[in-house]
Amino acid sequence: MSSTTEAARPSIHLSPSVTARLARRHRAERRFRRYGIVAIGLAIFFLAMLFISICSRGYTAFVQTFVQLEIVLDAEVLDLGAERDARTLGAANYQGAVKQSLRSLFPDVKKRRDRRKLNGMISTGAAYQVREMVLANPALVGTTVEVWVPADDDIDMLMKGHIDRDLPEDERRVDDDQLAWVDHLLQLGRIEKRFNTTFFTAGDSREPELAGIWGAVVGSFFALVVTLALSFPIGVAAALYLEEFAPKNRWTDLIEVNISNLAAVPSIVFGLLGLAVFLNFFGLPRSAPLVGGLILTLMTLPTIIIASRAALKSVPPSIREAALGMGASKMQMIFHHVLPLALPGMLTGTIIGMAQALGESAPLLMIGMVAFIVDIPGGPLEPATAMPVQIYLWADSPERAFVERTSAAIMVLLAFLIAMNSFAIWLRKRFERRW
Amino acid sequence: MRKTIAVAALAAVTLGGTAEAQSARDYISIVGSSTVYPFATVVAETFGKSTEFKTPKVESTGSGGGLKLFCEGIGVEHPDITNASRRIKSSEVDRCAGNGVTDILEVKVGYDGIVLANSRATDRLEISLKDLWLALAAEVPAADGSETLVANGAQTWADVNPDLPAVKIEVLGPPPTSGTRDAFVELAMEGGCKHFDWIKAMKKSDKSHYKAVCHTIREDGAFIEAGENDNLIVQKLDANPNAYGVFGFSFLDQNSDKLQGSLVNGVEPEFENISDGSYPVSRALYFYVKKAHVGSVPGIEEFLSEFSAEKAWGPDGYLADKGLIPMPDAERDQFRGDIMSMKNLELASN
């Protein structure tokens, strides 16, 4: 394209100095483009590194080693008398039944120490699993059931290849006897890796094989519901007032500067504020998602106000003038015409703010949401953690099996973030109007 | 406008409702040391699963932070139990008393060893506390034997003692906010510097100077503060065979295929050696119970009996599986007795 226009120009534009300058300018431009490509390439490289390292470490957590046991639910082994009410059934000796079934699988293991090692291969959760089964169906007492129970985390690590069989015995967490037993189980087809549903349905646990992300997901959900319910109406109302009604004077300027400033305040400061105001002054309970949601509201409000104001600004004045010209009141003009047109932009800003809040852990540290909580929270007032907090807690646990669970939890969090951001992009693409 | 009032009223009702909900708490609230956290959480989980009570909530706030929350007062908004990797201080007891928390039950949980460990790719280190202090202290006695202190110039372990390897001193350890660091400084560093009689004599004449000399770790890059996350130290040691790390015994126990513990004063950091006290760098772990809450918050007594059962804190208990070093039989019996009788805390020994 440039050659045809150059040919048509008078010769003064082709003097050597001009040509040299032109070549230099073209070079500068090409260089600048290359910088851009390098920058994008670097960003993609680091993103890919992050994804690959997390996924390669975490994907194994989605399966879990299970052992099939034939458990004899004998009333005698279970220490059960004639009574069969929920209380006695709940307190029965299920651990004993599990141990008994292992003993019948390996009748040669006699020494007390060896038996301990053998029992250690099965998760302590096995007994609770059997307990749940019996509580759900008391008629099972007296029968024999085949159950797949989770293996201990060390056996799980061995099955997944995280423990090297070739190391000397004293450097391995699984000793030679246990290796032989695992091989025996493999031969019998009684040990295998299955999909890890526990990870998606359970709360936290100190046993990696019993730990799940669901408690944290529910905690995050309650906190975000509170955040959304408060920050969206407040943010939109503030933006509407500032953009449409407020007089332009020193006060509104001051408010504007402060909102922009708040958006840049480190989140831990909001945590400290929350501790002082919500916990110490209002006396709200520690570790409650309600308080977490209140703090995250403070954090996301500036984002939502700024995005909403930008969305309102992008609605052309002709719409307002037309509405007013047709006799609409200012309120009608805003609620019938301006707000519906600005809403997609506002929602996009809100979702991005929510995604930010979902990934936040620092402010939750101050209000006691960084805690070991096993029970799935049933409401915004019950103690709960949040997803990023759960990741932090698992990253700090000594058991090797928590390494892969940490990465898996990050994958779940990333999936939520990607889903929320994609939804925001879809909203924008679908409803955005250009003038 | 009427709607606005309705919204405000609704908000007020919600807030009021929450204040109401505060007045009853049906789960135990535990705060405190990150070292006791792995053990307290296991007991809490077992307790929650095997009884009809809810699972206690356990927060990891650090020993000092936990005691501060614990001493803030009596009532459901304050925790019932706090874990500590050191004994409660008399200043903290006074603070508690000032806020009405006068009746406290003290329970020792067991012991924890602090280890110096490195990658299995290189040789195991054998070091005395004295050499360890000479390698890591900010100021050490002058080489000419005069009783003066000079800045620590040792670059390699061999500079400290020719018997040690000629490898650059590189130790990864916890930051000053950590209870592990406190214990390391008190037990290992001070234990080493006491070997110099003239420094030891200083303890009587000038205690604060003595503390500064014994407790200050060098800041010229030989000791690297690696953050509170002990897993991070483990990973770094695995990547750098020349570096050593300072952390709790349970992390060595869990990573014995990658790491080896250094012999301190000729004693290996092993379960038995920490339990019988022959390994020099070990400390006791405690928790404190607010007696006023026993009875009003459901399950505290049952939780205490779960914690003090042989199947939990005994030599073959599940806490030992998690890396806790159990107390000797007599001590376990004594503290079990204290729990039964709800004995009040006495700080006479301090």
Q: What is the DSSP string of A237-290?
A: HHHHIIIIIS--SHHHHHHHHHHHHHTTS-HHHHHHHHIIIIIIIT-PPTT-HH
B219-to-A350, B33, B139, B153, B164 alpha-carbon distances in Å: 46, 26, 10, 12, 22
Pinpoint the alpha helices (H) of B166-289.
Answer: 179-183, 190-193, 197-205, 207-215, 230-239, 249-254, 271-275
For tokens 């570790």, the residue is A287
Which residues in chain A touch residue B297, judged by CB atoms under 8 angstroms apart?
Answer: none
**CATH number, span A214-431:** 1.10.3720.10
pLDDT at B349 over 70: no
Question: Taking Cα atoms as reference points, which of A206, A227, A199 lies closest to residue A360?
Answer: A227
Find the largest Cα–Cα distance for chain A. Answer: 112
Cβ-proximal residues to B6 (8 Å cutoff; 6+ apart), any chain: none
The answer to whether the Cβ–Cβ distance between A403 and B231 falls below 8 Å is yes
Nearest chain B CA: its distance from A274 CA (Å): 15
Instruction: Name which of B34, B46, B57 is nearest A383 (Cβ-Cβ).
Output: B57
Q: How many whole angstroms from its chain centre is CA A83? A: 45
Nearest chain B CA: its distance from A1 CA (Å): 56
Q: Is domain B113-282 in CATH 3.40.190.10, yes or no?
A: yes
pLDDT tier for residue B289 given thresholds of 50, 70 and 90:
very high
pLDDT at A1 over 60: no
- What is the DSSP code string of B67-110? HHHHTT-SSTTS-SEEEESSPPPHHHHHHHHHTT---EEEEEEE
Task: For an interface test with A, give the residue of B7, B45, B229 to mutate (most A CBs within 10 A).
Answer: B45
Residues 184-213 of B with CB under 8 A from A: none
**What are the sequence ranges of the domains in chain A?**
2-59, 62-203, 214-431
Task: Name which CATH class applies to B22-111+284-341.
Answer: alpha beta
The single-letter code of the amino acid at B219 is: E
Interval B98-138: pLDDT, tens? 999 999 999 999 998 899 999 988 888 899 998 999 999 98
Is B22-111+284-341's fold the same as B113-282's? yes
Interval B147-200: pLDDT, tens? 788 888 888 999 888 888 888 999 998 887 676 788 888 888 988 888 888 888
Q: Please check whether residue B91 touches A, CB under 8 A.
A: no
Nearest chain B CA: its distance from A208 CA (Å): 12
Look up the pTM and report it.
Answer: 0.81
Instruction: Name which of B22, B228, B323 is nearest A283 (Cβ-Cβ).
Output: B22
Residues 223-282 of A with CB under 8 A from B: 279, 282
The answer to whether the Cβ–Cβ distance between A372 and B58 falls below 8 Å is yes
Contact status, residue B299 vs residue B53, Cβ threshold 8 Å:
yes
Question: Which H helix or E strand runs over B303?
Answer: helix B300-307
Which residues in chain A touch residue B52, judged by CB atoms under 8 angstroms apart?
Answer: 90
- What is the DSSP code string of A156-218? HHHHTT-S-TTS-GGGSSS-HHHHHHHHHHHHHT-EEEEE-HHHHH----SSGGG--SHHHHH
Instruction: Name which of A283, A290, A395 is nearest B229 (Cβ-Cβ).
Output: A395
- What is the DSSP code string of A118-158? HHTTB-THHHHHHHHHHHH-GGGTTSEEEEEEEBPHHHHHH
Cβ-proximal residues to A121 (8 Å cutoff; 6+ apart), any chain: A67, A102, A151, A152, A154, A155, A178, A181, A182
Q: How many whole angstroms from its chain centre is CA A239? A: 30
Interval A164-223: pLDDT, tens? 888 887 778 888 888 999 999 999 899 999 999 999 999 999 899 999 999 999 999 999
Chain pair A-B, CB pairs under 8 angstroms: 99
Q: What's chain B's average pLDDT?
A: 85
For tokens 């039964």, the residue is B340
Cβ-proximal residues to B92 (8 Å cutoff; 6+ apart), any chain: B67, B71
pLDDT tier for residue B20 given thresholds of 50, 70 and 90:
very low
What's the distance, Cα to Cα, between the start and end of chain B in Å?
65
Instruction: Name which of B15, B231, B257 is nearest A171 (Cβ-Cβ).
Output: B257
pLDDT at B18 over 60: no
Nearest chain A CA: its distance from B220 CA (Å): 27
pLDDT at A91 over 70: yes
Q: How many CB atoms lie within 10 A of CB B211?
A: 15
A204 vs A79: which has the higher pLDDT: A204
Both structure tokens of B49: 């699963």
**What are the sequence ranges of the domains in chain B?**
22-111+284-341, 113-282
What confidence score (pLDDT) does residue B8 get?
Answer: 54
pLDDT at A86 over 80: no
- What is the DSSP code string of B265-302? TTB---HHHHHTT-SSSEEEEEEEEEGGGBTTBTTHHH
B1 vs B218: which has the higher pLDDT: B218
The answer to whether the Cβ–Cβ distance between A395 and B120 falls below 8 Å is no
Three-state DSSP state, B141: strand
Instruction: Name which of A163, A368, A381 is nearest B21 (Cβ-Cβ).
Output: A381
What confidence score (pLDDT) does residue A222 get?
Answer: 95
pLDDT tier for residue A240 given thresholds of 50, 70 and 90:
very high
The answer to whether the Cβ–Cβ distance between B55 and A373 falls below 8 Å is yes
Task: For an interface test with B, give the residue of A135, A396, A407 to mutate (most B CBs within 10 A).
Answer: A396
Both structure tokens of A253: 């300027």
